[in-house]
Amino acid sequence: MAEFTLDLNDDQKQVRDWIHGFAADVIRPAAAEWDEREETPWPVIQEAAKVGIYSLDFYAQQYFDPTGLGIPMAMEELFWGDAGIALSIVGTGLAAVGVLANGTEEQIGTWIPQMYGDANDVKVAAFCSSEPDAGSDVAALRTRAVYDEAKDEWVLNGTKTWATNGGIASVHVVVACVDPSLGSKGHASFIVPPATPGLSQGQKFKKHGIRASHTAEVVLEDVRVPGSCLLGGKEKLDERLARARERAANGGGERVKNAAMATFEASRPAVGAMAVGTARAAYEVALDYAKTREQFGRPIIDNQGIAFQLADMRTQIDAARLLVWRASWMAVSGKPFTAAEGSMSKLYASEVAKKVTAQAVQILGGNGFTREYPVERMHRDAAIYTIFEGTSEIQRLVIARTLSGMPIR
């Protein structure tokens, strides 16, 4: 178990500076253009692949950092550059985490490399969980997976929504219901390989923020995938379903973790780090502006009304980062989230991002409201953090139920 420390080692500092340089030199100059175009920034993703940031090896190195700080450090720096482009670069990671959390070693080795492609032919992947009537309420999920024993195939039908890279992905990871009587405990995750018949893109959403990231519906019509595409394998699924049925028959008991929850639990501190990056970027713009903008014969930072806001902004950003780092360290050290520390980090950091970016707009005044300055875009981008991968209300529910000992359904 890694000892907890707030000091990054030399290797971590070198990686941080490398990612920061890419964010400053490649991502930021392209941010406004791709926000306006509302398209996937393939050239930027390709540049990230060429230097090694968009690759399985890079994320594996950060994921297996023994301190747990590799992923949050990388997320903060990339999202400091721009949230929309950064999400296009890291969105594949959610699908990869879904495979890592639920798949066999063979599935991990087979499918995750195909999610990324290579520098000459970059690919992206999509994790498909939410549905039109099942966002926070995962038990209401309607996409069905039915096993065709004669052909050893699973047949998927349903519609997914809010899928990052949905429809344009090479590999889709789809959460589907295999036993409706068990609610969320009857879910499983499936790989849908490239060019599988029956999978199509539905509506592409035009969004308030993170507009360089592709978000769309994914429609599944009699999609057939081999039995080997069930993450974890059928034997493991049958055992889990049998335990769930037995507990249901006995009136409940120990909670059974479903596939989607396992993915989100592993990724929430990373989302918190994304929010920290956006908040920090907006704070830095506001700080520089306050030191150079003069009103009534002096820089506006000399006014307590501005200075105190900046003090609070910096304090909240640092506090959010500490919560993210704690949760990330606990996860890699195998310490249980007895107080839902992962959800705490995501909740607080996302709320801080919304607040800090709004304050940055206010400090810049009329300039902050225009697209000539980046805080307007950062403020729009920050709105997503309190919504995706579990709304702030859901995070509070998870925390409260964890503290009370109630089951998290």
Enzyme catalytic residues: 389
Largest CA distance in the chain: 82
Residue (of 1, 27, 96, 22) closest to 378 by Cα position: 27
CA distance between the termini of the chain: 30
The rounded distance, in Å, linking the Cα atoms of 127 and 263 is 10
Q: How many CA atoms within 13 Å lie on the side-chain side of 44?
A: 29
Q: What are the residues facing 118 on neighbouring strands?
A: 121
The rounded distance, in Å, linking the Cα atoms of 289 and 364 is 7
The separation between CA 2 and the C-alpha centre of its own chain, rounded to angstroms, equals 24
Q: Are 138 and 262 in contact (CB under 8 A)?
A: no
Q: Are strands 187-192 and 199-204 parallel, antiparallel or unpaired?
A: unpaired
Residue (of 211, 214, 168) closest to 82 by Cα position: 211
The rounded distance, in Å, linking the Cα atoms of 65 and 71 is 8
Q: What are phi and psi of 70, to 5 degrees?
A: -60, -50
- Amino acid identity, position 187: H
Burial of 151 (0-12, 13-18, 19+ CB in 10 A): exposed
Q: Are 364 and 375 in contact (CB under 8 A)?
A: yes
